[in-house]
Structure 1
């Protein structure tokens, strides 16, 4: 066993007795302190379903670490629930929490000279925050999610989940279902803990971590409540010690090649639009020179849509897992992947694909082949035009092809709440393009999700006759014609700030365009008269975040040079 390279700076040698004495106060033995010190960043808590089982998962990780010759050291990080934070001021904190998680893992690891970390997290901002920390630290790291939850009672033709309640509320307001049908979902739509049962941002990022090489095969999709979840936890604990022995650090795994593999996987499964932003941030922390937006744009045109999972179909994450999961898709993509990249198995991606065994029968209603896919372009697309000079992100894999070219009349709202109220009151009509602005990283602040607005449109029967655009974000569960991450955002004086009710807007998926159909001269005149709004928060973390946040096109990372820019 080679000694850990970092912890021994303070734990080895006669003069370092102070540190050993401090740790022995908690029961560590002399032998414990001679082993590599392996951190377990555990985001367990009692309010986020995707993290509720991580106590048990963590214990098995501890077992694996100790069996392999390491000493586990567990610590906690915050984690916020998108579901609980939806539709109120809490959502302002969700994306900014990604930076807190990243910073806290970095701080703990550096302050205590950990030799490696197992990162336990499952949900929307926790997975990217932890992967950002791994890339920043560049020590051996493995991410292990908690696994997806089971689907609930059948509703509207598929297994329900918590988002079904939002759709159902729209249906209830339109008198399409009874109050009894609506209330039933409260008890039966979420039967187990785990990350949401559909392919939202949480499960998208767990899948991406597998494709990136930072999670053991099947680690992103094994259900939360099955025995295999605990077995892979122990294997993860053993494997992290092997990575220390072989000095396989995060940046040896997170490379330009593995980033491209992750993008291809995301496109092939029609993952959440938020993945674009998170992969951009991870690449930034790994100090890579890859342009993630350009890669998404280029690869989306040639990467086939191989897997369909709710919201793209009625099948949920457990169906995807049983159909072969991430590695089944990677195997189909094998000819166009970088198979030489290293992974946390201590083997290359190519070796992992060659070694993989699929336990369940194939299901071509969930995962098709590379040559006979659901579609010949990826499920996520980058749009540009005079309305979004930098970018807008959409998810054509999750909406009807009749909406690929949509021209409609703008109806504008300066907040998520205003738009949702108007939808429920029946003010949105067929042919409208709902514009929700001042919800970007700075203007929100925090780039809230327009999750409820899209669900309400669907519930009121407007999912195929309207569109929604925003400088905010969307949940991975949303479907319908939508474009988010519009940049520059309204608070930065982007064109979305000067759209007026009645303006015509064109969304053209095939040509990757989004345009305001008025003369550029009029747009310029309106922008000259535009005035920057006052910040919504002037104290606390959100005030700081709104000053430092970059655009969605840059991954909404914190840019400290923005202090001077925002004086």
Structure 2
């Protein structure tokens, strides 16, 4: 019998007697457990995993494949056990040696609004480091990755890509991997009894003259029940308690009923199109996911796992299919898929990080250039209120009407978007070869409620990169703003309301009288308020009375507010996601029509008026966001991809002019006081887990050493790094000269 072996002379097990003594019992134990777990399903598989046979495979350099799962305290990993069992038996049957290695996975839903959010992004680095450590220590050739959500997919990918680059440098076999995304979790349903009670609360609010609370509560009830929608309920119900509509005890009871009816017991990746499902899109676009398991509503079957394993082992000795090579070959496809699907803002960092870990300097500006090569249309009609969530897309795929990202690539090609169709994929075929099969390929095959479209919703989509006179870069998920909303905020002037951190912002954003407090505090100069009225759509000034004008501008939605949350960047506080303040704005009808949110923290989704994040330089690194203060005015120019701080004196006289260089000069004492507070606040985060000595958000927030290595790799290979101008990435405590053409 011909044995499957790695075509490389390096085999640590040739001389590692201890490994050949230790590992056979772990392999046999894994396979014995797999057979016990699956029972009758695998009764046809003979027990051939004797310790002698395992020893022989190790000695002969059979592929040693780590099955990388997650911790069972994450909802996406609830059903890992069965997928581990099926993949272990499949790997053994196909001639490989399977091992199981679990890694802890932080759940962003669980971490929201807690200190855990300051560890979330760092978790990507931690996972990457764990993957490298473990696969190096155990000498594994590759991985079968049970892909979940949050930072796990790109954390594992970065680790595998980095290791692939290192192994190649040492002359060893490249690292191969296939990713099997966890099934989609079906959204929950609000029990009818509770729905009736919440409707009664809304009616009570209306009788008390609190129509906004009634509207916001009904709006929250329109969404499928997810952990994310529960935050919206929390904000509305908190306001209802403050106004005396319900009691605190009622609030907590409603919260309990909503919570226990949210998640399906089988777990999975939540059905909203956040970082989890956007990562699913991107991994498929990078060619790392077998189509048999891309979009499922239940864990993969034995047959589906077999397809993935046999495809992986068929290309195990073909270096062009290694992890770093697939990333490099497919990066443009992944970016265009992410844009067309309107994916999570978070991926603007994760996609960049994957390329850097794969050995190539990359930045937000490279992503932007790919998106600017050709207009990328909006081909994703996703909705959490109209039955078009990712669970519905998975059902369409399961019924054979859609092929997920293959369908999206097909539609992009049909609309003239250049795709790298000759790039290889983990199936062993190129995209061009995969798309030859037309069954269920076109988006028009979906008979009802299509999510992937054959006719674009509009000619643009994705995440835009913004410039400014007070920041170098920021990002906004323009795909999350319908055209009417974009029109409502584009080319408008907005008053800055400044918060030094998320805690302060959350406290104020739940204030039911917030807009009235702004008026009473005269947050904007009277002369400036009159200019805002004229510029934002008013005609003849109706009154010189400040209070009356302020209220009329709110009523007519002519007052725009830039809610600024600073001190949330990677170095300052781990770059937590600003989901909670975003939801507090979304769940407040009056506030959402006025506000954009701007932060050096992260975002996944959007607010009504846009969530602008990933601001660089961050506040702690002396970025312009550090110097803003309440009452400043910025011009929102989304179609021009700019946000600029305006000259206050000129604005008082009716001239809209950007603030001149040096506008921060008289605010240095304020800035220094804020930085001292940030440094003191940072001590809440464990020192071992702080995101120091990393690149900024525009360059992926990767360890400086990883960036430096990528620059050296490119220089050694004769890439463009040595030909372009020098650019410095500054990270509070450290800086690194890089060779990258950044605008």
Cα 1:182/1:108, change in 2 over 3 Å:
closer
CA contact (8 A) 1:207 1:221 kept: no
Secondary structure at the residue paired with 1:547? coil
Query: Are positions 1:143 and 2:229 aligned together?
Result: no
Separation of aligned partners in 2, 1:537 and 1:115: 39
Separation of aligned partners in 2, 1:341 and 1:44: 30
Deviation at 1:563, TM superposition (A): 9.7
Separation of aligned partners in 2, 1:378 and 1:361: 22
Alignment match, 1:381: 464
Secondary structure at the residue paired with 1:50? helix
Deviation at 1:68, TM superposition (A): 1.4
TM-score, normalisation: structure 2: 0.70
Point out the more displaced range, 422-431 or 305-314: 305-314
Number of residue-to-residue matches in the alignment: 558
Query: Are positions 1:308 and 2:308 aligned together?
Result: no
Which of the numbers 232, 235, 245 marks the counterpart of 2:307?
235
Per-residue CA deviation, residues 466-519 of structure 1 (Å, 9 max, x unaligned), is 111100011347664110101111010111111110111222221111122232
Point out the more displaced range, 126-135 or 518-527: 518-527
Alignment match, 1:481: 610
Per-residue CA deviation, residues 19-51 of structure 1 (Å, 9 max, x unaligned), is 322324545433442362433343332321112
Separation of aligned partners in 1, 2:21 and 2:683: 45
Separation of aligned partners in 2, 1:2 and 1:77: 28
Per-residue CA deviation, residues 262-310 of structure 1 (Å, 9 max, x unaligned), is 0100011100001110000001011235544333355167100101224
Separation of aligned partners in 2, 1:496 and 1:316: 35
Separation of aligned partners in 2, 1:422 and 1:243: 56
Alignment match, 1:116: 142
Separation of aligned partners in 2, 1:556 and 1:290: 11
Query: Are positions 1:126 and 2:142 aligned together?
Result: no
CA contact (8 A) 1:42 1:54 kept: no
Which of the numbers 499, 521, 524 marks the counterpart of 2:664?
524
Cα 1:291/1:44, change in 2 over 3 Å:
closer
Deviation at 1:101, TM superposition (A): 0.4
Matches within 5 A, 1:356-395: 357-358=439-440, 361-363=446-448, 365-369=450-454, 372-389=455-472, 391-395=473-477
Secondary structure at the residue paired with 2:690? helix
Kindly name which structure, 1 or 2, has the bigger radius of gyration based on alpha carbons. Answer: 2
Per-residue CA deviation, residues 409-444 of structure 1 (Å, 9 max, x unaligned), is 111111111111111113543532211010000011
Cα 1:471/1:458, change in 2 over 3 Å:
same
Alignment match, 2:353: 281
User: What is the root-mean-square deviation of aligned Cα atoms in Å?
Assistant: 2.8
Separation of aligned partners in 1, 2:134 and 2:79: 23
Deviation at 1:312, TM superposition (A): 9.5
Cα 1:123/1:396, change in 2 over 3 Å:
same
Cα 1:401/1:388, change in 2 over 3 Å:
farther
TM-score, normalisation: structure 1: 0.91
Separation of aligned partners in 2, 1:112 and 1:316: 40
Alignment match, 1:11: 13
Alignment match, 2:271: 197
Alignment match, 1:216: 290
Alignment match, 2:423: 341
CA contact (8 A) 2:4 2:95 kept: no
CA contact (8 A) 1:123 1:201 kept: yes
Query: Are positions 1:410 and 2:496 aligned together?
Result: yes
Matches within 5 A, 1:517-556: 517-518=646-647, 519-521=659-661, 523-526=663-666, 528-529=668-669, 530-531=671-672, 532-533=675-676, 534=679, 536-538=681-683, 542=687, 545-556=690-701
Deviation at 1:73, TM superposition (A): 1.0
Q: Which runs of 5+ in 1 are unaligned?
A: none
Separation of aligned partners in 2, 1:542 and 1:375: 46
Deviation at 1:238, TM superposition (A): 2.4
Separation of aligned partners in 2, 1:298 and 1:505: 29
Which of the numbers 237, 249, 257 marks the counterpart of 2:322?
249
CA contact (8 A) 2:363 2:698 kept: no
Separation of aligned partners in 1, 2:501 and 2:254: 30
Cα 1:435/1:114, change in 2 over 3 Å:
same
Cα 1:402/1:503, change in 2 over 3 Å:
farther
Matches within 5 A, 1:147-158: 147-153=183-189, 156-158=221-223
Cα 1:356/1:211, change in 2 over 3 Å:
farther
Q: Which runs of 5+ in 2 are unaligned?
A: 29-50, 165-174, 191-219, 397-401, 516-553, 555-559, 648-658, 709-730, 736-743
